[in-house]
Amino acid sequence: MGVLLILVCIPLLLGKVRMNPYYGIRLPKAFLSEENWYRINAYGAQRMMLWSVVLIALGFVELLLPFHGKRNSLLLPLLSLAPAVVMIPPMIEIFIYSRDL
């Protein structure tokens, strides 16, 4: 999941995605101007890529941990929520960045 997210973010980081309603960081402030669109998407891609590295690291941790026995019965469901939880901080960072533009 982390690697896929990094690959999706590369065109945004490089400014290759023109303003559209489908692909990119779609905050109201991003649609106010082309400059805002590229700045918010580049910043958002950078933050998402950084947090994707955390997601990749958690994936490796999942591979190394034994998931048998009562002691670890909650560990697998908790780690399966990692993609959703790890994406919350970059979304907050992007929102704050766009608000300050």
pTM, to two decimals: 0.85
| Burial status of residue 74 (CB atoms within 10 A of its CB: 0-12, 13-18, 19 or more) | exposed
Note whether 45 and 12 are within 8 A (CB): yes
Centre a 10 Å sphere on the Cβ of residue 100 and count the other Cβ atoms it contains. Answer: 7
Write the CA distances from 15 to 24, 42, 89, integer angstroms.
Answer: 10, 7, 22
Number of domains in the chain: 1
Confidence of residue 72 (pLDDT cuts 50, 70, 90): low
Query: Cα–Cα distance between 45 and 24 in angstroms, integer?
Result: 9
Task: Report whether pLDDT(36) > 90.
Answer: yes
**Domain ranges, residue 87:** 2-99
Joined tokens for residue 61: 């941790």
- Provide the pLDDT for residue 68: 62
